[in-house]
A and B are shown apart, each in its own frame.
Chain A
Amino acid sequence: MALSITSLCISCSACKLVCPENAIRVSDNQFTIVEHRCNECSEATGTPQCASICPVENAILDANGISLNPTGSLAPVTFNQERILALKGEIA
């Protein structure tokens, strides 16, 4: 069982620096997860570290190909439309 990195990756290295299994390789600026090294962080921390720091939605998939940071999941949680309009000065 291993996670994988999609082509949405921006090569920021964050995952590589936090992976406790040293499972992330980079070659020609392409980041990949070495399958036999990745244990999905089942032992170390419980939550996959790469997916916990990755800044891009849908860049990391679980073993079944499901996105660990699906669309919208990394957006700010504190804003609603009303607050945005207020900041734009469109409502008081």
Chain B
Amino acid sequence: MPLLVIDSLKKGFFSPGGVRKPIVSVSSFSLEAGEQVALRGESGSGKTTFLHLIAGILAADSGSIQIDGADMAALKESARDRLRARSMGYIFQTFNLLQGYTCLENVLLGMAFGKGTDKDRAVALLERVGLQERLHHYPRQLSTGQQQRVAVARALANHPKLVLADEPTGNLDSTNAREAIALIRQTCRENNAALLLVSHDAATLGAFENVREFSSLNNPEKEASL
């Protein structure tokens, strides 16, 4: 049984004029436990919406998103929040670290709404991403590369089964981007977490053995034409 199974997933938004515009229409997608897949897609192709649907940040219009046996698409919002807190990590392009919290506290926050905080694990994760000297620094005191490493540690904090990464190298230079991808992939492997990454950057995608075209999965035009 795959970790993630998506079936007939649809999501659209209403334009200001009241016209519904389909954004995501994925008939089928799956991801095995521990598998690492990169989705290539251009800006505006619906990649982020797709990840938000998987994470339960957005509610699907229809279809199902089976994650480890639970259908994210069928859950109420609070249950989606709980499932996200317990089973998923999310790495954002803009890192989305909380500026009022130290590196260590940002990582602890990644655990706070799930299975509970574990300071030793948070410290170990930060050590693993090379920030043992920066535990009590605030994000503004770090370089962008270091901030992304904190985001990686936070995404892995709650023992996730699935890590979602949305353009994680979009704000990094090429050296940092290469290091970040290697770090994300390696730490996911070490933590037995599957990784689903979306990007349009060729260098990032080049680091993956399994790269799939998002446009071949997502076909909102087909839905619109129906």
A and B interact physically: no
Binding site for B on A (CB under 8 A): none
Binding site for A on B (CB under 8 A): none
